[in-house]
Amino acid sequence: MTFARTRSTAAAAGAVIAALALATACNRDSSGTGAGGDKPAIGIDLPRSDSDFWNSYAQYLKDGIKSAGLNALPLSNSQNDVTKLAANVQVFQNSGAKAVVMAPQDTGAIASTLDSLAARKIPVVSVDTRPDKGDVYMVVRADNRAYGTKACAFLGEQLDGKGKVAELQGALDSVNGRDRSEAFADCMRKKYPDIEVFELPTDWKGDVASAKLQSLLAQHPDLNGVYMQAGGVFLQPTLALLEQKGLLKPAGHEDHITIISNDGIPQELDAIRKGQIDATVSQPADLYAEYALYYARAAAEGRTFEPGRTDHDSTVIEIAGGLEDQLPAPLVTKDNVDDKTLWGNTIGQ
């Protein structure tokens, strides 16, 4: 059995403004409260504010809360700290939340928090990341293994199956970092054995990525490809480093380093237009926010779903402990970078 729901337009998600501001004092944001009145209260934790992608997601959330008139408790921000996330969730429980939205960055350490919520019968919507253990009402996520496979296929084709590639990995204690890394490695090993891959774990930190890439370039100045698992934190430091070293050659130049990223932020799209990078996989920040709120409201109201195709171009699958709605994440190159359906081309309009 599938379920039907008409995807809202960009207007229904709320008019998104360009200025992105997240209050960090006490990890609380009173602007997140909707005008829900007697509607079920929803607790929402933002995972971090050091990434353009997550800041965009936060803005989509705030606008969606307002446009839908949801009864959202003041937003919290766990700042990539699972201890803060647990504390923020405790505040939601004490405040009467009937559902919780979170995006745990450490997917292994969140199990006890999920168990606490389950004991209180408070359903959880997990955005972008799938907890390693524990019950969830719904995971709103794209297929992260597909990210790694798409990146591998693109680099493999662009490099004609030969060369050296740096892989700026995310945190390997995150299911996303593992999925992208494992899929990329599997694809490279099977399809492009003559490409040498240098795996550089970064814990999703741009400064770590830049430092490791700099060291790698000192040893392998003939590097001709880069896979950035998160453009929101890796794009600017990577471009700055390559420019500093005189290696930021435009696409088409014989010494151009082929770069593919993940996220789909406006800055990545601009970099594709300029020929600085070649492609990205657009992770749907707008849909993450839209369906996080949709499922949170459905959970608070006691509605249920089953695996199957949806009417918003995705598939709900069964996972250990719950369900996952796998949203579409298209590959973006110079050929479709101006597509108006890409969230990176519409945010702020």
Q: Is the dihedral of CA 292, 103, 279, 172 positive or negative?
A: negative
- Whether residue 37 is predicted with pLDDT greater than 60 in this model: the reply is no
Confidence category of residue 26, pLDDT binned at 50, 70, 90:
very low
What are the residue ranges spanned by the domains of the chain? 25-142+284-328, 144-282
Nearest alpha-carbon partner for 103 in 142, 68, 70, 74 = 142
Q: What is the pLDDT of residues 287-323, one digit of tens each?
A: 999 999 999 999 999 999 999 999 899 999 999 999 9
Structure tokens of 135? 């019950």
- Whether residue 347 is predicted with pLDDT greater than 90 in this model: the reply is no
Nearest alpha-carbon partner for 231 in 272, 179, 288, 195 = 272
What's the CA gap between 229 and 197, in Å, rounded?
Answer: 14
Q: What is the pLDDT of residues 145-196, one digit of tens each?
A: 999 999 999 999 999 999 999 999 999 988 899 999 999 999 999 999 999 9
- Whether residue 25 is predicted with pLDDT greater than 50 in this model: the reply is no
Q: How many residues does the chain have?
A: 349
What are the phi and psi torsion angles at 95 (to 5°)? Answer: -95, 5
- Whether residue 328 is predicted with pLDDT greater than 60 in this model: the reply is yes
Q: What is the pLDDT of residues 228-242, one digit of tens each?
A: 999 999 999 999 999
- Whether residue 27 is predicted with pLDDT greater than 50 in this model: the reply is no
Can you give the pLDDT at residue 313?
Answer: 92
What's the CA gap between 322 and 320, in Å, rounded?
Answer: 6
Intrachain domains 25-142+284-328 and 144-282 with the same fold: yes
Can you give the pLDDT at residue 302?
Answer: 95
Nearest alpha-carbon partner for 265 in 227, 235, 225 = 235
What's the CA gap between 139 and 292, in Å, rounded?
Answer: 8
CB atoms closer than 10 angstroms to residue 65: 24
Work out the percent of the chain whose per-residue pLDDT is above 90. 84
- Dihedral angle over CA of 200, 283, 109, 166, nearest 10: 0
What's the CA gap between 26 and 39, in Å, rounded?
Answer: 26
Structure tokens of 83? 């201890």
- Whether residue 17 is predicted with pLDDT greater than 80 in this model: the reply is no
What is the biggest distance separating any 2 CA atoms in the chain, rounded to whole angstroms?
A: 63
What's the CA gap between 204 and 231, in Å, rounded?
Answer: 10
Q: Which CATH architecture has domain 25-142+284-328?
A: 3-Layer(aba) Sandwich (3.40)
What's the CA gap between 270 and 246, in Å, rounded?
Answer: 20
Contact 39, 97 (CB under 8 A): no
Contact 95, 84 (CB under 8 A): no
Q: What is the pLDDT of residues 60-95, one digit of tens each?
A: 999 999 999 999 999 999 999 999 999 999 999 999
Confidence category of residue 30, pLDDT binned at 50, 70, 90:
very low
Question: Which of 13-22, 116-125, 291-300, 307-316 shows the lowest mean pLDDT across its residues?
Answer: 13-22
What's the CA gap between 183 and 165, in Å, rounded?
Answer: 15
Can you give the pLDDT at residue 173?
Answer: 85
Nearest alpha-carbon partner for 176 in 199, 203, 208 = 203
Residue 231 host element (H or E): helix 231-244
Can you give the pLDDT at residue 36?
Answer: 53
Fold of 144-282: Rossmann fold (3.40.50)
What's the CA gap between 337 and 15, in Å, rounded?
Answer: 22
Structure tokens of 106? 């450490």
Task: Identify which has the larger pLDDT, 42 or 51.
Answer: 42
